[in-house]
Chain A
Amino acid sequence: MITQEENRSNLRDTKPYVVVKNLVTQFFTSKGIVKALDKVSFEIYPGEIYGLVGESGCGKSVTSTSIMDLIPDPPGRIISGEIYIDSFNILSDLKSLARINIKSETDVRIKRNKRANKRHNEIMSRIRGDKISMIFQEPFLALNPTMRIGEQIMESILLHNILSISEGIIRRNNISQVDLDKFIKNLNGEKDTLKRKKIINNFVSEYGIPEFEESISSLIENSTDDSYIKTEIINMIQENKKDIDLKFINEVKEYYTLQDQLFSLTLQEIQAERTGETALMNQKREEVKALRKYILNKFFILRMKLRFAEKHYMTPFRKEARRRAIELLSLVNIAGPEIVVDSYPHELSGGMQQRAMIAMALASNPKMLIADEPTTALDVTTQAQILEIIKDLNQLIGMGVLFITHDLAVIAEMCDRVGVMYAGNLVEETTTTEIFNDPKHPYTVGLMNSVPRADKKREREIKLDTIPGTVPNLITPPSGCRFHPRCKFAMDICSLKKPKLVEISPQHKVACFLYSDESEVD
């Protein structure tokens, strides 16, 4: 626990990776407007596991889907707020996406701006899966039933890593004795089998020779003569030279480099839009237009090839992607990844499916993983394994995790910091130790008391404490503090004003009038 504390206080100095500020998400249904999220704010630092906990229907999943901007629309929409992912506000052009005209609770007219939405989707498809990934509650539903597992992972790899793969393939043609010497030297200095395997993997990946992975590892195992190994590797590459159309690879590389350029220009355009520099914005807009037109014209044939015969033309890329998919599958402890990669989702067990999901989410080394109740649909032993994998990934790669669950035991096991949600509000936020030792908000206290505990069972042989009442209907949420109808300590002010989430002690924030008089100004 102490190490966790230290770990976290170190994190404080760095910049948060995900910042959610005053997030408001609503669903426009025929019965009225569901105010699912009401000004939720929190931050997640790189490398930490942040838990969101609460009863079902309190807005945990809506929060995570809002961060990915995957709220099903219609009926839902993010109304206002800011979400920064790696210091980029994905909601900066929220106003231009759609005009919402609320005539009454049940009569809402939404006018979407097609052009703005298209640009927004383009940007989001670059961020999703690349900077931030997500795994879902029910892996069976979350995997495409008609695509092989490997195909689904490869899709993700090919979307985000095509440049690095093409560079590797180009590099293989210029492979020199020096590179091989370095590889052999690295290998000889290592005795551990797993680490040796990793070195081979890295070498194969760097030089774009996925098809020789097995030959190289068996060569190394069966031979001690370094110069023989080197000549054999060079021979292999020379022999297969005709399989690689270097001109095509270069073309693909150029195409995707230009696409990246287009993306960064678009970001600059948005930046200019935000700061209000009209001249710069117009200039950037023209540049984007010109570059897009240039790409469309120059790569017409390439685009047609990719559109209609992707599997044929992308073979060298797909080989490397497949190798990486197998590597990812073994990273998440799947036995026999070479077989699983060619299986369909329905042929795997729930735990295996969830692992495959995690492998897919890791395809481009995102710094942040959103795990939306990843273990709820699994049985207990599998649950423990999945949690262990997520924890391991967090410690090994330093990947941040937003962990959503209703299970306090899981929170205690996994998280560094915890946010407690109630009816679309964040009511308390603190470290895991604090939340179990000293919960402040009446709702958190109630939540803690409703957990069965082995040590308390003998002491008092009464029933578990439960929080009276149920989660309120969010179409007509209670005024003021949304918890006040169920709260033992409710005061007059609670129904009038909404408490603000304030820091009452270091690293402990609570939104309750018992601890602070501050209220949110509407």
Chain B
Amino acid sequence: MELRYYIIRRLLILIPTLFGLILLTFILLRAVPTPDLISSFISQKATPKEKAIETAQAISFLGLNQPLPVQFFYYLNDIIHGNLGVMYTSFYTGPVMGGIERFLPYTLELSIATVILSIIIAIPLGTYIGARPNSPSDAIGRIFSLGIYAMPVFWLALLSQIIFGHDIGIFGSYGLPISGEGYPTTTKVPWIVNNVSEPTHMLLVDALLHGNLAIAYSAFIHMILPVGVLTLSILAGLLRFIRAGMVDTANQEFIKTARAKGVPEKLVLRKHVRKNALLPSVTVIGLLMAGLLGGVVVIEDVFDLRGMGRLTLATITGLNIQFYGVAGTVLFFGIILMLTNLIVDVVYAFLDPRIRY
């Protein structure tokens, strides 16, 4: 099986890439001046003498007195053990790894819902529009795509809050929620500890796992607006992409062959055009997923959601920049991007037999 070797090869390539990424974040950390790096280890009220002692302690604690290769070795060792350092912010204080563990599931939940929803909408709609280039439905699709594409996401989010929360009033203070994490803080259930649900940290999934339909419903309702806005913003590009692929494929010679064989028009579209047209979209969908997992900072801010984007933002917006936080999240996003790329490539190779390198 050729595909298996392809996957193994890709996994092996992942190792040097990962090493390079870790080296890069290490260089990033060491490029920061030492006083800035250790500033969070020194109390501001201390006397200069105490400060000198604390500085020396911090330097030896962080291993900054060791030669660079040794430091890198320690860094590598820490990463292997899941130790990305500590961050101190008003949003979250604790180990960086713990922060990712806590805030990623929420973003993951949003991203998966968004990607699934946009695929479900984009493929049939894109096929429909792409099969009728220059028709009225194509024109409507184009106007919709360009219009949404031109709107900043945060503005779209605000607009949706205003329209649904205020003007129509389905969501909002008297109706359904327009923001927040999805359950009233007064609710006491054993599987929610410190505002974090167990075991997956995804509220909707956990509520369903525990059979608590009221909370599941609440979580679902809370997801509608953010997921809707994200889907809309993704849909605009995806739709154009699928449409272009359909038009492009429909002009290929092998479509003429299919017609010459006597394949009915509907089947030509379904069996020959669509599959080939959707191939490039796999890449786009994968990259969109990676982008979403990176935390949609603005959306999370507008809807007051506590996800990866907020965590990332917190590392650089506090009183002191949390360098370990920055390095940790950068490393994490790098890994996410690498893995998504790998998955996309494998899926692509699986779908397109010509790709085996």
Contacts and interface: CB of A to CB of B under 8 A. Distances in A.
Contacts of B264: 121-122, 125
A257 B130 CA distance: 34
Interface string A341-367: 000101000000000010011010000
Interface residues of B, number: 23
A182 B186 CA distance: 87
A360 B258 CA distance: 10
B254 A141 contact: yes
Contact of A146 (B260, B262, B265, B276): B276
A108 to B, nearest CB: 14
A134 B260 CA distance: 6
Interface residues of A, number: 34
Interface string A43-79: 0000000000000000000000100101010000000
B2 to A, nearest CB: 11
A145 B352 CA distance: 8
B185 interface: no
Interface string A1-30: 000000000000000000000000000000
A363 B261 contact: yes
A146 B261 contact: no
Contacts of B265: 121, 125
Given A344-B353, A346-B353, A142 B261 contact: no
A125 B260 CA distance: 8
A473 B264 CA distance: 36
B259 interface: yes
Contacts of B351: 146
B256 A128 contact: no
Contact of B257 (A122, A125, A136): A136
Contacts of A216: none
A327 interface: no
Contacts of B261: 128-129, 133, 155-156, 159, 360-361, 363
Nearest to A357: B257
- What 6 A-B pairs have minimum CB-CB distances, sorted nearest first? A129-B262, A141-B253, A128-B262, A129-B261, A344-B353, A134-B260
A318 interface: no
Contacts of B279: 146
A490 interface: no
B45 to A, nearest CB: 69
B272 interface: yes
B279 to A, nearest CB: 8
B251 interface: yes
A145 B263 contact: no
A121 B352 CA distance: 30
A134 B258 CA distance: 10
Contacts of A159: 261-263
A129 B260 CA distance: 6
Nearest to B262: A129
Contact of B253 (A133, A138, A156, A346): A138
B262 A144 contact: no
A272 B354 CA distance: 50
A310 to B, nearest CB: 10
Contact of A145 (B258, B271, B354): B354
Interface in B182-224: none
Query: Per DSSP, are chain B's interface residues mostly helix, strand or loop, or mixed?
Result: helix
A130 B254 contact: no
A221 B259 CA distance: 42
A70 B353 contact: no
A138 B352 CA distance: 20
A68 B256 CA distance: 10
- Candidate in B253, B254, B258, B353 with the most chain A CB atoms within 10 angstroms: B254
Contact of A160 (B260, B262, B276): B262
Interface in A147-162: 147, 155-156, 159-160
Contacts of A344: 353-354
B253 A145 contact: no
- Candidate in B251, B259, B261 with the most chain A CB atoms within 10 angstroms: B261
Interface in B242-292: 251-254, 256-265, 271-272, 275-276, 279
A133 B258 CA distance: 11
Interface in B340-357: 351-354
A126 interface: yes
A127 B260 contact: no
Contact of B259 (A70, A130, A357, A360): A70
A494 interface: no
A147 B352 CA distance: 9
A145 B262 contact: no
A119 to B, nearest CB: 11
Given A160-B262, A360-B261, A363-B261, A146 B253 contact: no
Nearest to B352: A146
A143 interface: yes
Contacts of A130: 262
Nearest to A363: B261
Nearest to B275: A146
A376 B354 CA distance: 24
6 contacts: A124-B262, A133-B261, A144-B272, A145-B276, A146-B275, A344-B353
Contacts of B263: 125, 129, 155, 159
Nearest to B271: A155
Contacts of A346: 353-354
Given A72-B251, A146-B275, A146-B351, A126 B262 contact: yes
A155 B262 CA distance: 10
Given A121-B264, A125-B265, A141-B254, 6 more contacts: A129-B261, A130-B262, A144-B272, A146-B276, A159-B261, A344-B354
A144 to B, nearest CB: 5
A136 B259 CA distance: 12
Nearest to B260: A134
Interface in A433-464: none
A143 B254 CA distance: 5
Contact of B254 (A68, A128, A142): A142
Contacts of A127: 262
B260 A128 contact: yes
Contacts of B276: 144-146
Nearest to B257: A142
B123 to A, nearest CB: 15
- Candidate in A122, A125, A346, A361 with the most chain B CB atoms within 10 angstroms: A125
Nearest to B254: A144
B292 to A, nearest CB: 28
Contact of A68 (B251, B260, B271): B260
